[in-house]
Amino acid sequence: MEITKEIIEKIHEKLNEVSPVDYDCGKLCNEICCVYEDEDYPNDDLIIYLLPGEELMYDASESFEVIHYDIKEIDYPNSWKDGVYTVKCLNPPNCEREIRPIQCRTFPLIPHIDKNNHFYLIFDESQYPYKCPLIKDNVELNNDFIVETYKTWRFLLKNRLIYDLVDSDSRKRENKKIKYKKVK
Ligand code: SF4
Ligand code: SF4
């Protein structure tokens, strides 16, 4: 399944209707997932990897710079032979929220495929260099956010490249025996 701009816009519409909690969780952590930096991870490096087709949303944006990486520069599945688009957030935590990437909208939930090819959503703290209070404090997320995020990722997995990426990340997680928590 090819991901078109119309599909991305529909996904944005659906995800606009939900949010992880009913308050601004950025107040819990001073928006750490937008602005975190340390010696090994300068904020200048804050880039978000785009899914195939998402790059079409960023023709002219003052909040995001689109950067393309060749497959040789990046540890991605071979099927991504045309490389990977990313966006750099230019003025975090401020951005054009209406076009922020899907990976940002569905955070802190992460798609995972187990060895029996079952798909579910997880929390995986090892994925980021900072602590998200929603995960650390085991905050109950809104059910409609979990359901919409689940439906979105299950749909996106029909795209071969996205499937390969989620599968590859999942295999790495399981091979390294990383502890994660199943959410749905
Ligand atoms: S998702 Fe987590 S890390 Fe990001 S703003 Fe909300 S509480 Fe903070
Ligand atoms: S896209 Fe916006 S909300 Fe997401 S990390 Fe970047 S600045 Fe923060």
**What distance in Å separates the CA atoms of residue 39 and residue 166, rounded to the nearest whole number?**
28
Task: Calculate what percentage of the chain has a pLDDT beyond 90.
Answer: 77
**What distance in Å separates the CA atoms of residue 125 and residue 127, rounded to the nearest whole number?**
5
**Count of domains observed in the chain:** 1
**What distance in Å separates the CA atoms of residue 18 and residue 27, rounded to the nearest whole number?**
18
**What distance in Å separates the CA atoms of residue 173 and residue 112, rounded to the nearest whole number?**
9
Convert the pLDDT of each residue in 24-41 to its tens digit: 999 999 999 999 888 776
* Cα-to-centroid distance, 154 and ligand 1 (Å): 23
Token pair of 132 as six digits: 């998200």
Predicted TM-score (pTM) of the model is 0.92
Residue range of the domain that includes 165: 5-182
- Amino acid at position 123, single letter: F
**What distance in Å separates the CA atoms of residue 156 and residue 14, rounded to the nearest whole number?**
14
Convert the pLDDT of each residue in 81-134 to its tens digit: 999 999 999 999 999 999 999 999 999 999 999 999 999 999 988 888 889 999
Residue 132's contacts (CB-CB under 8 Å, 6 or more residues apart) are 29, 32, 33, 107, 108, 125
Q: At what angle do helices 143-156 and 5-16 cross, to 10 degrees?
A: 170
- Amino acid at position 25, single letter: C
* Cα-to-centroid distance, 133 and ligand 1 (Å): 6
Query: Pocket residues for ligand 2 (CB within 6 Å)?
Result: 33-34, 89, 92-93, 95, 100, 104
> Nearest to residue 149, comparing CAs of 99, 109, 100?
109
Convert the pLDDT of each residue in 59-90 to its tens digit: 888 899 999 999 999 999 999 999 999 999 99
* Cα-to-centroid distance, 75 and ligand 1 (Å): 26
Token pair of 121 as six digits: 């959503």
User: What is the phi-psi region of residue 93: left when phi exceeds 0, alpha when psi lies from -120 to 50, beta otherwise?
Assistant: alpha
Confidence of residue 16 (pLDDT cuts 50, 70, 90): very high
